[in-house]
Structure 1
Amino acid sequence: MAVIKPFCAVRPTPELADKVAALPYDVMNSEEAREMVKDNPYSFLHVDKAEIDLEPGVDLYDPMVYAKARENLLRFIEEGTLIREPKKAFYIYTLVMDGHPQTGLVSLASVDDYLNNVVKKHEFTRADKEADRIRHVEVTNFHTGPIFLTYVPKDSITKLLEEYQKNHTPLYDFIAEDGVGHKAWSILDEDVIQRLEEEFSQVESLYIADGHHRAASAVRVGEKKRKENPGYTGDEEFNHFLAVIFPSNELRIMDYNRVVKDLNGKSEKEFIQAVEENFTVTPASQPGPYKPQKKHEFGMYLEDRWYVLEAKPHIVFDEDPLKRIDCKILQDNLLHPILGIEDPRTDKRIDFIGGIRGLKELETRVKKNMKVAFSLYPTLIEDLIAISDAGMVMPPKSTWFEPKLRSGLFLHDLE
């Protein structure tokens, strides 16, 4: 059963929260981050992507980058941009995008729950990305970006959070530059804290929705600190990591689409003939990008034309939680056998485009430097949970969650 814990947050002052709050470090490159912060000295990107305050071209893994992150973080604290809470608390965090709200609980999750698979995963991590975040946590001595967790909804938790929101004034309330609303409430009432701990102790599993690398890195740091402190009790801060936990029925997953650089030596005619073995291929009847309307249906953009692909029954295995998701169907029956994309995690011929960028981006990429694009129906949260429960791993870039949690609103000090 899940263990959660309140903590003494380091957080922005309310009047600076909207300026500090930043998108996660891994959704933009360094050049884009520099542009985002050029008029904002308070942005948390100065901590999460500290290379923006060094000479352009610096290696992202240079020790100077991590040292700069710590320097900027400590400066934010010294100048009062970030303040330390004297008392342990939970926080309620609501995001509203296009009128759709989702409300989560900001807390600490347990390293042991991660190791014992109470916190369940659905992705492999890359060693280089994991090493980067390990170093970031070690040098700053903070968890700076929360892990996005979800759980099967529990009415008693939902009602408890709703009641608290109605009866208390938000700590933060702002609309970010992308139009997403952010509200947060602090829970300092010890009775409410205890009730929430008890409620989550009856939750069988937590699932990583987003943040596999950050979670793995936080756990590796925790394990290292345990070895350095053989007399640890389990109550030390390094035994836990920062998370925001949302009920699964409030989450929205967007499509995560693919573009491929070439047809693996095939002509257009040969390629389509190969695709037709496992998919029906029909020219799209409407102009413009094709957005799949149901599971097992795909859009394909090739030579300035959109097609509708529908998986034939013999390649659909709905009884298998992994083989029934569309990104797996596409990988196993087209990308790998026809286009030669054996490992999409490492193959340089494939790229991934999150649904937030729109399907027009697929056309732009094909016209610029790619050959063919595929639009997908979004993965269902129920499938993510089923795959995690089965101990299986999704193909890379299977889910794109929106809205993104902001970094910098809540920090966890490992001391």
Structure 2
Amino acid sequence: MAKINPFKAVRPTKDKAGLVASRPYEDYTEGELKAQLQYNPFSFLHIINPGYKFQHEITGEKRFQLVKNRYLEFKEEEIFIKDPAPCYYFYKIVTRNDSFFGIIAAASLEDYENNIIKKHEDTIAFRENLFKDYLKVVGFNTEPVLLTYPDSAVIDELIEEAMNTRPEYEFTTHNKETHFLWTICEPKIVEQIKREFEKMPALYIADGHHRCSSSYILSKESKAENPMHSGEEPYNYFMSFLIAESKLKIYEFSRLVTDLNGWSKEEFLMQLDEQFRIENRGSQLYSPKSKNHFNMYLDGEFYSLFLRKTNYEFTDSLSTLDTYILYEKLLKPILGIQDLRNDLRISYIHGKNDLIEMKSEIDSGRFTVGFGMLPLTIEEIKKVADEGLIMPPKSTYIEPKLRSGLTIYEF
């Protein structure tokens, strides 16, 4: 039984929503970032990059405190307001090729602890604790964890009804995305939504494992420090964006490697031949067509690699994943890559960027060889999570990606 609650969001006034909302900080080029900070005083980037005010780069806890200061300034200037009553927030994004909609809400960290909210990705302790320290100082979170739930006709109908009314926000961004947000505070509808989620035995983290884990660590610390702890304090929850399983868009990551681990091209191909059936596809762009089928780009030519299943044993849901197979049969034993997160010899391109980018990176000499595969399915992700297993890093690139600053969760 999943506990998904409404909450009182802090959010921009209607006239400034499009100016405040920003992409993730790392998505901006240096030039874009400078332009936003110089010419848009309402951008949320001023909060997460507080050193700009002093023309000085600031790191560590000093930066965290300045982030909080900038945030408080936005509230004092009434750029941000706090809703007087708990609400759900229906959010829709229309891109050039897709449309996504879901619910922004507060999800229970007790559900995360009890595996009602299930994960499929491992986390790094350093990143968990760094973001936990950040949250503890600033006292708010603006990046929802992406959760997915089984399709619900009731929730779809409620969202559809809301979309026939005038949204609280509607704005279009420079990359031609249109964003809509509706506030849902009517008690009867709030109760319907809450009950629908209570019927669901499990939810799954699609994106945001580190954010979720950091919130969990902070909640445990806050509980220990609060002798009046009741279980309903805001620190017992985290902001989430809940989207139906059928509405997610899942892409793969291609793998690029800088060298052949000391093998000549011919030796490398012979090593591969023991594990895969290899076919040279020439210089034309080539994509895999089925599971356990990979493409490879090497020395100006594409190859297809078909797993030799007589040399491989499928033992659980993890062993069936193409990302795991590629690691176990090629990247680790042949190319010598043990640590997929930290080895500087490997890099990744998400599947929204097509084969042309892989070819370009290798033709430029920055990398020697590249590998691609089909994206995983939501069924594969759920099976891994249900079995308590962990997928290899960079197994999925999942959309939608939300803007920062539209709804803020305080604790």
Same fold (TM over 0.5): yes
Which residue is 2:181 aligned to?
184
Q: Aligned-pair distance for 1:76?
A: 1.6
**1:297 equivalent among 290, 293, 299:** 293
Q: In 2, are the aligned partners of 1:10 and 1:413 still within 8 Å (CA)?
A: yes
Which residue is 1:158 aligned to?
156
Deviating beyond 6 angstroms after TM superposition, the runs of 4 or more aligned structure 1 residues are: 29-32
Gaps of 5+ in 2: none
Equivalence map 1:81-160=2 (5 Å): 81-160=79-158
Change (3 A) 1:268 1:205: same
Q: Deviations over 1:128-175 (max 9, x none)?
A: 221221122111100121111001212222222212322x21111222
Q: Aligned AA for 1:322? A: L
C-alpha distance in 2 between matches for 1:25 and 1:296: 36
TM-score by length of 1: 0.92
Instruction: Say how many residue pairs are matched.
Output: 410
**2:213 equivalent among 212, 216, 224:** 216
Range with greater deviation from structure 2 (44-53 or 234-243): 44-53
Q: In 2, are the aligned partners of 1:142 and 1:413 still within 8 Å (CA)?
A: yes
C-alpha distance in 1 between matches for 2:18 and 2:312: 46
Q: In 2, are the aligned partners of 1:279 and 1:311 still within 8 Å (CA)?
A: yes
**1:320 equivalent among 313, 316, 319:** 316
Q: Deviations over 1:268-315 (max 9, x none)?
A: 111111111121222225624x33233222221111222222222235
Q: Aligned-pair distance for 1:252?
A: 0.5
Q: Aligned AA for 1:20? A: V
Q: In 2, are the aligned partners of 1:253 and 1:402 still within 8 Å (CA)?
A: yes
Q: Aligned-pair distance for 1:50?
A: 4.4
Q: In 1, are the aligned partners of 2:283 and 2:301 still within 8 Å (CA)?
A: no
Which residue is 1:329 aligned to?
325
**1:362 equivalent among 355, 358, 362:** 358
Q: Aligned-pair distance for 1:239?
A: 0.8
Which residue is 2:307 aligned to?
311
Matched, 1:199 2:196: yes
Q: Aligned-pair distance for 1:32?
A: 6.8
TM-score by length of 2: 0.93
Q: Aligned AA for 1:407? A: S
Secondary structure of the 2:352 match is: helix
Q: Aligned-pair distance for 1:58?
A: 4.9
Secondary structure of the 1:195 match is: helix
Gaps of 5+ in 1: none
Q: Aligned-pair distance for 1:186?
A: 0.5
Which residue is 2:397 aligned to?
400
Q: Aligned-pair distance for 1:41?
A: 2.8
Which residue is 2:45 aligned to?
45
Q: Aligned AA for 2:304? A: V
Matched, 1:67 2:65: yes
C-alpha distance in 2 between matches for 1:394 and 1:320: 12
Q: In 1, are the aligned partners of 2:282 and 2:301 still within 8 Å (CA)?
A: no
Q: Aligned-pair distance for 1:321?
A: 1.7
Q: Aligned AA for 2:247? A: E
- RMSD of Structure 2 on Structure 1 (CA): 2.1
C-alpha distance in 2 between matches for 1:399 and 1:308: 21
Q: In 2, are the aligned partners of 1:30 and 1:51 still within 8 Å (CA)?
A: no
C-alpha distance in 2 between matches for 1:98 and 1:58: 37
Secondary structure of the 1:63 match is: helix
C-alpha distance in 2 between matches for 1:396 and 1:63: 28
C-alpha distance in 1 between matches for 2:289 and 2:162: 39
**1:350 equivalent among 340, 346, 352:** 346
Which residue is 2:15 aligned to?
15
Q: Aligned-pair distance for 1:383?
A: 0.7
C-alpha distance in 2 between matches for 1:53 and 1:317: 58
Equivalence map 1:236-315=2 (5 Å): 236-285=233-282, 287-288=284-285, 290-314=286-310
Change (3 A) 1:229 1:320: same
**2:406 equivalent among 401, 406, 409:** 409
Secondary structure of the 2:320 match is: coil
C-alpha distance in 1 between matches for 2:154 and 2:195: 11
C-alpha distance in 1 between matches for 2:310 and 2:388: 25
Secondary structure of the 2:183 match is: strand
Q: In 2, are the aligned partners of 1:123 and 1:393 still within 8 Å (CA)?
A: yes
Matched, 1:381 2:378: yes
User: Structure 1 vs Structure 2: percent identity of aligned residues?
Assistant: 35
Q: Aligned-pair distance for 1:88?
A: 1.0
Secondary structure of the 1:284 match is: strand
**1:79 equivalent among 77, 80, 105:** 77
Change (3 A) 1:31 1:111: farther
